[in-house]
A and B are shown apart, each in its own frame.
Chain A
Amino acid sequence: MAMSKRKRAEYIRYAQYGILLVVVVLVAVLADWGQIQRAFFNVDIAKSMFPSVITVALKNTIIYTALGFGFGLALGLVLALMKLSSVAPYRWIATVYIEFFRGVPALLVFIGIYYGVPIAFQMQFPPLTTVMLALGGVGAAYMAETIRAGIQAVPKGQVEAARSLGMSQSRAMITIVIPQAFRIILPPLTNELILLTKDSSLIYILGLFREQYELTKFGRETLSRSPSLTPILIAGLCYLIITLPLGYLSRYLERRGTSGRKKVSA
């Protein structure tokens, strides 16, 4: 006689707890806790990083991310509109851009912009501009697809109502469709912002000065002068100061979005 379904489910649940317990015990026994503590939790080194880890590195990470996000959002909107354009070449250009910058590692793009732009255009951008172009250029490729999906998710009736009131196509787009599209895509857009925050670590390739260091570069720089991995831990925790609230914000917006739109007419 086979086990009843309910009994089986119960045993499987026990097995899952069992596996978890075994893994935890193994890690606890095998790891050298003394070493881990010395490697990651050196209080003196941690103390030596303050306050500049906050006043310089965290601040710069936020500035770089904000610049990249702002530029990426604007460029992403343009690309999204190009993708929806009735002019075929616009659609092609947007598609090529999005596919290229989504498909190529951000690090390569940064190198290309840092070394390539001065050669190609015989001009040297200030560092912040380069950061903005590099981070935003990559972010735009991702955001364009999100924004396009948001625009297409706005019910057709909204445009028809706007047009029936005498709004032109572009007026309806600006006044009615885009504001609604951004409400719809706010949660995924917040996720893009989290990804961009982490991508900002790649701009170490741009060869920054000490006061321009962002968190990862700052952590690695401290690491090179100290016998402990503590700087990496501190830098990581600083990222969480940015990303955890954003993740919470994203989930909050998602909840609010679904409950707010439930009753809205199609």
Chain B
Amino acid sequence: MSDSFVEITGLKKSFGPLEVLKNIDLQVNRGDVVCIIGPSGSGKSTLLRCVNLLEEPNDGKIVVNDVELTHPDVDIDTARTKIGMVFQSFNLFSHLNVLANLTVAQRKVLKRSEEESRRIALHNLDRVGLSDKVHSMPAQLSGGQQQRVAIARALSMDPEVMLFDEPTSALDPELVGDVLGVMRQLADEGMTMLVVTHEMQFAREVADKVIFMDGGYIVEEGPAADVIGNPQEERTQSFLARVLDPTHHGPKDPE
């Protein structure tokens, strides 16, 4: 039994000839919020998608809650019920209303009764502040509402860790706050969270640990105050300068 709730060692992932993750080691303690930042193409989304094996790693070991997901005999479907995931594009089931989005996996996977799954769904809709949208179809909701429903859907499975893959990147700016508010509340309640994000303010205020990735490596990691407030690596510094102050930098120099 290790201290870490999520433990990744020697993780490698390639898409064809393209090496996206080159030997990643990462530990996440129970109850921690870890924010993963970095330029596009740095492998941060792929890393997150490896944690619930939506991407099959080429090499390395992934252990979540003492279950080795990379073991060939693992029951990945059961393991995934404990790992909630929230996508950039929400991915609500477009043919089901909000309530059915929240209950379908409870019923079909966890085999909960209709009554129980409904109760849990309503409770989680309330947590994200959308109790009045129970019978809406996804297409009738704003992006921010859809993403909060997606969070409630993941929470309805009673996960022990939540993965967020750029949850606010597809949202209009004025809707970002609602989603970040829900995430902050989850963090306060002690949920273990891995968050790929460009929201530096969120990372700074909520993250217990910030990871900066570039070119398939973890370049720098540590408390938010250090990695964002006082980065040591040159690549981290130049990335943060661009993100935090985008108007004062010319195009990136060709390498």
Which residue from A164, A168, A180 sits with its C-beta under 8 Å from B54?
A: A164
A165 touching B105, Cβ below 8 Å: yes
Interface residues in B136-151 by Cβ distance below 8 A to A read: 138-140, 143, 146, 150
B81 touching A161, Cβ below 8 Å: no
Does residue B153 face the partner (Cβ distance < 8 Å to A)?
yes
B90 touching A265, Cβ below 8 Å: yes
Q: How far is the CB of B230 from chain A (nearest CB, A)?
A: 35
A167-B138 contact given A180-B95, A265-B90, A266-B89, CB 8 Å threshold: no
A260 touching B139, Cβ below 8 Å: yes
- Size of chain B's interface in residues, with CB distance under 8 A? 32
Does residue A119 face the partner (Cβ distance < 8 Å to B)?
no
A165 touching B157, Cβ below 8 Å: yes
Query: Given the complex, which residues of A lie within 8 Å of B121, measured CB to CB?
Result: none
Interface residues in B72-117 by Cβ distance below 8 A to A read: 77-78, 80-81, 83-85, 87, 89-95, 104-105, 108-110
A265 touching B81, Cβ below 8 Å: no
- Size of chain A's interface in residues, with CB distance under 8 A? 25
B80 touching A166, Cβ below 8 Å: yes
Does residue B46 face the partner (Cβ distance < 8 Å to A)?
no
Query: Given the complex, which residues of A lie within 8 Å of B154, measured CB to CB?
Result: 164-165
Q: How far is the CA of A223 from the CA of B52 in the complex (A)?
A: 69
Q: How far is the CB of B121 from chain A (nearest CB, A)?
A: 13
Q: How far is the CA of A263 from the CA of B145 in the complex (A)?
A: 13
Does residue A116 face the partner (Cβ distance < 8 Å to B)?
no
A166 touching B95, Cβ below 8 Å: no
Closest partner residue, chain B, to A165 (CB atom)? B105
B54 touching A265, Cβ below 8 Å: no
A166-B78 contact given A260-B139, A265-B138, CB 8 Å threshold: yes
Q: How far is the CA of A180 from the CA of B93 in the complex (A)?
A: 9
| Residue from A155, A161, A261, A263 having most chain B Cβ neighbours under 10 A | A161
B-side residues, CB < 8 A to A, are 52, 54, 77-78, 80-81, 83-85, 87, 89-95, 104-105, 108-110, 138-140, 143, 146, 150, 153-154, 157, 170
Q: Could you write out 5 A-B pairs with CB less than 8 Å apart?
A: A167-B77, A261-B139, A263-B140, A264-B138, A265-B94
